[in-house]
Amino acid sequence: MPKHKIGIVGATGYTGSELVRLLIDHPDVSIEIITSESKAGTSFSKINPHFKGRIDMKLEPLKNLADHELDLVFLALPHGVSMDFIRDWNPDDFRVIDLSGDFRLGSAEEYRQWYHKKHKAPDLIEKAVFGLPELFRDQIRNARLVANPGCYPTSAILALAPLIKNEIIEPEQIMIDSKSGVSGAGAKAKQQTHFPEVFGNFSAYGLLKHRHTPEIQHNLARYAQKSTEVLFTPHLIPIDRGILTTTYSTPTKDIDKEYLGEWYYSFYEKEYFIRVVDDPPNVKHVRGSNYCDIHVTYDERTNKVVTVSTIDNLVKGAAGQAVQNMNLMFGFIERSGLEISPLSP
Amino acid sequence: MPKHKIGIVGATGYTGSELVRLLIDHPDVSIEIITSESKAGTSFSKINPHFKGRIDMKLEPLKNLADHELDLVFLALPHGVSMDFIRDWNPDDFRVIDLSGDFRLGSAEEYRQWYHKKHKAPDLIEKAVFGLPELFRDQIRNARLVANPGCYPTSAILALAPLIKNEIIEPEQIMIDSKSGVSGAGAKAKQQTHFPEVFGNFSAYGLLKHRHTPEIQHNLARYAQKSTEVLFTPHLIPIDRGILTTTYSTPTKDIDKEYLGEWYYSFYEKEYFIRVVDDPPNVKHVRGSNYCDIHVTYDERTNKVVTVSTIDNLVKGAAGQAVQNMNLMFGFIERSGLEISPLSP
Amino acid sequence: MPKHKIGIVGATGYTGSELVRLLIDHPDVSIEIITSESKAGTSFSKINPHFKGRIDMKLEPLKNLADHELDLVFLALPHGVSMDFIRDWNPDDFRVIDLSGDFRLGSAEEYRQWYHKKHKAPDLIEKAVFGLPELFRDQIRNARLVANPGCYPTSAILALAPLIKNEIIEPEQIMIDSKSGVSGAGAKAKQQTHFPEVFGNFSAYGLLKHRHTPEIQHNLARYAQKSTEVLFTPHLIPIDRGILTTTYSTPTKDIDKEYLGEWYYSFYEKEYFIRVVDDPPNVKHVRGSNYCDIHVTYDERTNKVVTVSTIDNLVKGAAGQAVQNMNLMFGFIERSGLEISPLSP
Amino acid sequence: MPKHKIGIVGATGYTGSELVRLLIDHPDVSIEIITSESKAGTSFSKINPHFKGRIDMKLEPLKNLADHELDLVFLALPHGVSMDFIRDWNPDDFRVIDLSGDFRLGSAEEYRQWYHKKHKAPDLIEKAVFGLPELFRDQIRNARLVANPGCYPTSAILALAPLIKNEIIEPEQIMIDSKSGVSGAGAKAKQQTHFPEVFGNFSAYGLLKHRHTPEIQHNLARYAQKSTEVLFTPHLIPIDRGILTTTYSTPTKDIDKEYLGEWYYSFYEKEYFIRVVDDPPNVKHVRGSNYCDIHVTYDERTNKVVTVSTIDNLVKGAAGQAVQNMNLMFGFIERSGLEISPLSP
């Protein structure tokens, strides 16, 4: 079978380079073009020296995209830039997996409210499929435009989906306390991510107004067909990769703690990338891999269900999940190119 | 005025060495003896080389304590060992500040339930004063035995006390999501704290059964005179020092967000070591100091009060608070020896 | 072609688990047995939870080795334990790659001098081949016993080999200043590797007497056929993985700086895993991979040749190099199973 | 005695805020003014929130300096900006301690060669005293302009001074391998100091051309009255604070290893801030303090003297040393305000 041709738009960010890491080892696709406006003409491994000897193609300007007969394009662009691309895109040309937040919410209004800008391709918001394969697999298979989930939402939604779907918890009283490594803030240097400021530190940020709040709410609701309200608090862990999310919710009925764990296990039994674990997981056990580890328990005293889930924010929380979506869209084996052991210690 | 004479029992742990750091700069006390059974005869700065040139006294066995006319003894011993000492202690000899968990709970029964061992000095549990100066100042002044609070409880109780005391939140539905640096686990090497295991990692541990749960509950209840139930989830941050605690609770009444912050500010206005801050605090802004920074806000959508508080677990969460208690007990200026700028970056 | 059968002796250390990571993805071998005396009966992924779902075989006692018709055994044992195994080994049974230091030096006398114990299989020391494929490829192909190089020596010898071999530098005046991540100290918790001690810290250790000194000297000499003397200073970097080695040496002749770099490039041109780089390399650009990056320059003022080289101590410095050796011994493509992109950021 | 009045020019960098940390606790001086052009009007603790409650004065523009009758001004400005200030400065107005590199070299020519710009106050270069108190104490006492040493040079010069001064080593064959925490690169975010790039990493930089090379050479020569040549290689440690410097040099005569250590001890016996230590030191044992720990040894095999020295780059390597210089200039006790225990763990 000839390899499927793919393009990567936006090569200088962390999701772009992580896509390259996964796709150069993928047996069934070939990277035809990687674009960068600011670095066009430079070789990809000049920008990302760790790839020297692995991939040495030159970065090209976006306009060259049309020179290749691409089957699929990954958009590794910032929020707000993706929708510019999509607005001008002809869905018949190639399929798109967008790794930005531009097509993950429910409406242009919601987008404006949380992203503080006007959406430029509002008619495509509803057509985009939320690319969380474990929950929306069938829709992803046929999608032309996949909105690849955010990192925090992936960790939170996968942990909460069984509870919401089966009406085990109150859907409007969910607390989500997330902690993320710094690569989630992107590859561009900022004062808040200056090494001496973050090293030895730990902080909460974006209280009550982080953009992943509506993304979690909307897509949990979309999956479970019921309205949800979540309180989402992100924190910055002084590490490079990894998200751990702890959630607290109130049951709607009597809970048998033993049974709860077993039931999670069976809920995700056929999912290769979900590992329901007996002990609280840690982020290093998923580093570099596409796994999501989930632990669930129940506290009788306060009558709360507690989940703890972990992902590598750049893999299951971004590039890995994008490749998983691509596999579904192309009819490949879903885990193709993604059977990677976590790097620990 | 002649200096007050103090002794430190247990010098090889982190709280012991942190007590020394603070007390050698204290203007009104002198360290007469530092004990260590395993290292008796060795100089303190041999065990803790960073103190070379600062303090060179030799460690002595516990039995030498009686050779000094001490005014006060700090017990920097593990849980379970402190109560052995206290059982044999004559309260007329000297006052005691115990930095272990042995005298922080409400009863011998509660102790047995959470610490899984029988209490050996049950009659003194009620006589011990919980050494959180901002809440129990008057009792501390006259105490013979002070139970110095745990690190997590200090960060949680100070953040929640205003809400509980004034019946602003439901006292039995409190979620406490805490994150601590690794020095909180003590100075002794363990497999879980082996550097390559913790580095680049983040994890939850002790779910639902951490011993600080009843300590928080009991002392919030003691302060506010009402029953409380908390769900406490500790996490391990891959740093040396610092605790950040995020709490979620449900109001009992309508909340005005603006007013809430101002009211916290006035609640703690006279407290030198409590800084109510407008932005979510971070642990490096209190590193090495006795400050507790607290931020409070309210989420209308989910109707929750959120607090974020930070301390240095070895200072306000252990040795610094112990010195603050000592200052009260001796009638010194409360912040004497504790006016230390945080070390940042 | 049926897969070659391999065994791993010693599964609880970092080199053991890293061997598993590489070998489960290797197309031409199958892991038949993993041994551990202390954990026999337990599943490998119970000890190393990040492998859950990747490999779930049970650990077996060493005596079960004979039950499998193995082609090759990796010894991931501590120094001193490997030679016990080798003493009893029949070279006709299977080939061996020993990852300990027991067979890397020149003689039993040298071993006793630096390891402070008597060698138990002295007759095999000379028969063992030093498993640095770039320098000893032909001998490795036919070896029954390969002594897999230490992590520091790999980084130092590969950087210095071109200079020594071609008599460009004085061979008895070489200074080697190495810096290593903490996983090099092994998986077992020790007081020196307790997280709060290492975090935020940096130190030199083992001055003048580290065991890798004679390993570097002996094997540089073996390769270049001339006597060498090196001064080796190891330092501990507060990270999990990675070694960076800086060397200083004195030229024997006039040096053209431009030419020096080009000449290094051509010296290693055919070596897949050696990347001669124009800028000083960093350890994260090789993390998780089998690459060794080398930079060389010359300082006219002080008349010194300077090299900077980097490896992942657990891959090119241990398990990856062992797999590379295995590939040579089995006549596989040398990079089979080792074409792994570094994990960065 | 009325307090001496001091000003700090440049408050937004790390050396500026570290000066504040030390000076607000100094018994004999008062901070009259802190300047910042970009942040004038803002309170200092708004920029540096960890100082909230410690110091709340407003930042002022530079022109306000004349409004205060200052005794001494600290210049915490970038290289190149300090000399602008000095060019316009009247030495009769107040004394100056300049923490930049502008007045540390031997001549305007040397400055142009290494800093690639023309010096604007060349006549003052010779008048400036190099502020390393242990070596230039008498000159500092009477200086109007002190050039406060760089961080790397402080660690290297203090380690090498005894050897050079007493002609124990060849002065033109010195190798200096230094490793520094990231705060040495300043408070301003850059791509190279973006957290995910530095975390888990280690690298060499500035090979052969770092500006501290001539600073070390020139001031060692100035002290020992003989020409020196050094090869200086800086490396970046992924921590916030701390420098460790390893040096290698060749003896001019026979060395007795035992004696060497004792002789170092006596050389620095009266220096409060120099601790000659028996074991190789580590950076955490000096964190936050003004100590410089030095270890010396000798390798017979390669005939090399090796030193390992550590400082906190922001204290003994910058602000602490500046305060020590100030104490000398004002005739205070030299360690006044600097008796600070290192913060460990």
**pLDDT class of D1 with cuts at 50, 70, 90:** confident
Q: Is the pLDDT of residue C56 over 90?
A: no
User: Looking at the structure, do residues D249 and D320 belong to the same domain, yes or no?
Assistant: no
| pLDDT for the residue numbered C315 | 98
**Residue C338 included in any domain:** no
B63: left (phi over 0), alpha (psi -120 to 50) or beta: alpha
Do you find a cis peptide bond into A345, omega within 30 degrees of 0? yes
Let me know whether A304 and A158 are in one domain: yes
* b/e sequence A11-42, b meaning 16+ C-beta within 10 Å: bbbbbbbbbbbbbbbbebbebbbbbbeebbee
Q: Does a structural domain hold residue A286?
A: yes
Nearest chain B CA: its distance from D175 CA (Å):
27
D28 exposure class (CB count in 10 Å sphere: 0-12, 13-18, 19+) = middle
Contact call for residues B302 and B246 (beta carbons, < 8 A):
no
Residues A219 and A164 in one domain: yes
Residue C215: domain span: 152-313
A141-171 pLDDT tens trace: 999 999 999 999 999 999 999 999 999 999 9
Burial of D266 (0-12, 13-18, 19+ CB in 10 A): exposed
Q: Flag whether pLDDT at C11 surpasses 90.
A: no
C328 neighbors C129 (Cβ within 8 angstroms): no
Residue D134 lies in a domain: yes
Name the residue among D291, D292, D286 with its Cα closest to residue D309: D292
- Among the partner residues D182, D191, D200, nearest to A196 by beta-carbon distance: D182
pLDDT at C109: 97
**Length of chain A, in residues:** 345
Extract the tokens encoding C77. 């044992």
Asked if B105 and B83 touch (Cβ cutoff 8 Å), the reply is no
Is residue D86 situated within a structural domain? yes
Give yes or no: residues D75 and D122 share one domain. yes
Query: Is the pLDDT assigned to residue C21 strictly greater than 90?
Result: yes
Mark out the alpha helices in B188-310 (DSSP H runs): 195-198, 212-224, 257-267
**The two three-digit tokens of residue D207, written as one number:** 């090979």
On whether both A216 and A298 belong to a single domain, the answer is: yes
- The answer, yes or no, to whether residue C1 has pLDDT greater than 80, is no
How many whole angstroms separate alpha carbon B262 and alpha carbon B276? 9
Domain of D269, CATH number, reads: 3.30.360.10
- Do residues A319 and A21 touch, judged by C-beta distance below 8 A? yes
pLDDT-derived band at C220 (thresholds 50, 70, 90) equals very high
Is B338 part of any domain?
no
To the nearest whole angstrom, how far is the Cα of C173 from the nearest Cα of chain A? Answer: 32
pLDDT in tens, B154-196: 999 999 999 999 999 999 999 999 999 999 999 999 999 999 9
Q: What is the mean pLDDT of residues D295-300?
A: 97
pLDDT given for residue C17 in this prediction: 96
CATH of the domain at C115: 3.40.50.720
Task: Yes or no: say if A321 and A259 are a contact pair by the CB < 8 Å rule.
Answer: no
Instruction: Please write the tens of the pLDDT for every residue from D74-109.
Output: 999 999 999 999 999 999 999 999 999 999 999 999
Chain C interface test: which of B38, B188, B195, B314 (most C C-beta within 10 Å): B195
Residue A291 corresponds to which amino acid? Y
Chains within contact range of chain A (3+ C-beta pairs < 8 Å): B, C, D
Residues of chain C neighbouring B191 (CB-CB closer than 8 A)? 188-189
Q: For chain D, say whether C192 makes contact (Cβ under 8 Å).
A: no
Following CA atoms D43, D48, D52, D55 in sequence, which dihedral angle do they give, to the nearest 10 degrees? -60
Helix %, strand %, coil % of chain C (to 5): 35, 20, 45
Alpha carbons A149 and A110: distance in angstroms, whole number = 16
Which pLDDT score, from 0 to 100, does residue B294 have?
Answer: 98
First and final C-alpha spacing in chain B: 38
Amino acid symbol at B228: T
In a domain, A22, yes or no: yes
Residue A305: name the closest of A294, A296, A314 by CA.
A296
Residue with tokens 């922001």: D314
- β-strand pairing of B72-75 with B4-9: parallel
Looking at chain B, which residue has its C-alpha nearest residue D241?
A: B345
Query: Which member of D14, D189, D198 has the closest CB to residue A190?
Result: D189
Report the SS3 class of residue B325: helix
C128: which residues sit within 8 A by CB, 6+ positions away?
C98, C103, C104, C143, C145, C146, C147
Torsion sign over Cα D162, D163, D167, D168: positive
Two tokens at D69? 């009758």
Helix D151-165 to helix D257-267 angle (10° resolution) is: 120
- Residue C37, classed as helix, strand or coil, is coil
**Taking CB atoms and an 8 Å limit, are D204 and C244 in contact across chains?**
yes
Q: How far is D110 from chain C (nearest CA, A)?
A: 15
CA atoms of C186 and C236, how far apart (whole Å): 13
Written as one letter, the residue type at D326 is M
Which of D269-272's residues contact partners 24+ apart within 8 Å by CB, and which partners?
D271/D134, D272/B53, D272/D334, D272/D335
Q: How far apart are CA A311 and CA A282, in angstroms?
A: 9
pLDDT at C174 over 80: yes
The CA distance from B36 to B12, in Å, is 7
Positions of C annotated as catalytic residues are 151
Give pLDDT tens digits for B116-129.
Answer: 999 999 999 999 99
Cβ contact, residue pair D208, C345, below 8 Å: no
Helix ranges restricted to H, B143-284? 151-165, 195-198, 212-224, 257-267
- Helix crossing, B108-115 with B212-224: angle to 10°? 150
Question: For residues D109 and D294, is the Cβ–Cβ distance under 8 A?
Answer: no
D345 touches chain A (CB under 8 A): no
Question: Into how many domains does chain B fold?
Answer: 2
Which residues in chain A touch residue D187, judged by CB atoms under 8 angstroms apart? 194, 196
Cβ density class A192-209: b for 16+ within 10 Å, e for less: ebbbbbbbbbbbbbebbe
Provide the token pair at B220.
């919030």
* pLDDT surpassing 90 at residue B1: no
> CA nearest D74: which of D112, D21, D125, D119?
D21
Residues D120 and D244 in one domain: no
Q: What is the pLDDT of residues D13-43, one digit of tens each?
A: 999 999 999 999 999 999 999 999 999 999 9
CB atoms closer than 10 angstroms to residue A217: 25
Percent of chain D predicted with pLDDT > 70: 100
C-contacting chains (≥3 CB pairs under 8 Å): A, B, D
Exposed/middle/buried for residue C319 (C-beta within 10 Å: 0-12, 13-18, 19+): buried
Residue A19 has pLDDT above 80, yes or no: yes
**Tokens 């203007």, located at residue:** B27
**Same domain (yes/no): D41, D95:** yes
Put residue B208 in one of left, alpha, beta given phi > 0 → left and psi -120 to 50 → alpha. Answer: left
Distance between CA atoms of D93 and D66, rounded to whole angstroms?
9
**Could you count the other beta carbons within 10 Å of the beta carbon of residue D332?**
18
- Measure CA C250 to chain center: 26
What letter would DSSP give residue D184? Answer: G
Q: Answer yes or no: are the C-beta atoms of D104 and D215 closer than 8 Å.
A: yes
The catalytic residue among D151, D163, D244, D326 is D151
Q: Can you tell me the distance from the alpha carbon of A30 to that of A22, in angstroms, rounded to the nearest whole number?
A: 11
Tokens of D22: 């030390």
Instruction: Tell me, yes or no, whether B36 and B143 share the same domain.
Output: yes
Quick one: what percent of chain A has pLDDT higher than 70? 100
Residues B298, B157, single domain; the answer is: yes
- Let me know if residue A343 belongs to a domain: no
- The reply to whether C232 and C254 lie within a common domain is yes
Contact predicate D43/D59, CB 8 Å: yes
pLDDT of residue C252: 96
Calculate the CA A60 to chain-centre distance: 26
Whether C242 contacts D202, CB under 8 Å: yes
Give the Cβ contact number of residue C167 at 10 Å: 13
Q: Is C210 on the interface with A (CB under 8 A)?
A: no
Cβ of residue C37 closer than 8 Å to a chain D Cβ: no
**CA dist C156 to C114, C202, C242, Å?**
19, 20, 13
**Straight-line distance from the first to the last Cα atom of chain C, in angstroms, rounded to the nearest whole number:** 38
A186 with A250, same domain: the answer is yes
Span C227-232, mean pLDDT? Answer: 97
pLDDT at D56: 85
Interface test with B, best of D50, D237, D339 (most B CBs within 10 A): D50
| Residues contacting residue B299 through CB under 8 Å, at least 6 positions apart | A208, A231, B306
- Tell me, yes or no, whether B163 and B135 share the same domain: no
pLDDT of residue C247: 98
Q: Is A208 on the interface with B (CB under 8 A)?
A: yes
Closest of B180, B244, B238, B233 to residue B210, by C-alpha: B233
Model confidence at D181: pLDDT above 90: yes
In the block, residue with structure tokens 């205060």: D68
Evaluate the CA torsion angle C121, C125, C129, C134 in order and state its sign: positive
B30-44 as b/e: b if 16+ CB within 10 A: ebbbbbbeebbeebb
Please indicate, yes or no, if residue D337 is contained in any of the structural domains.
no
Q: Which two tokens stand for residue C52?
A: 């859950």
User: Closest Cα to residue C31, out of C61, C63, C65?
Assistant: C65
Cα gap D306→D246, rounded to integer Å: 7
Q: What does the alpha-carbon distance between residue C280 and residue D202 come to, in Å, rounded to a whole number?
A: 11
Q: How confident is the model at residue B11 (pLDDT cuts 50, 70, 90)?
A: confident
Confidence of residue D320 (pLDDT cuts 50, 70, 90): very high
pLDDT at B283: 98
Confirm if C147 and C125 have CB atoms less than 8 A apart: no
Residue of chain C with shortest Cα separation from D243: C202
| Tens-place pLDDT, residues D195-213 | 999 999 999 999 999 999 9
Neighbours of chain B (3+ CB pairs under 8 A): A, C, D
Q: How far is A238 from chain D (nearest CA, A)?
A: 8
- Placement of tokens 């949800």 in the chain: A228
Residues in chain D, total? 345
Question: B307 CB near a chain D CB, below 8 Å?
Answer: no
**Tell me: the pLDDT tens digits for A207-240?**
999 999 999 999 999 999 999 999 999 999 999 9
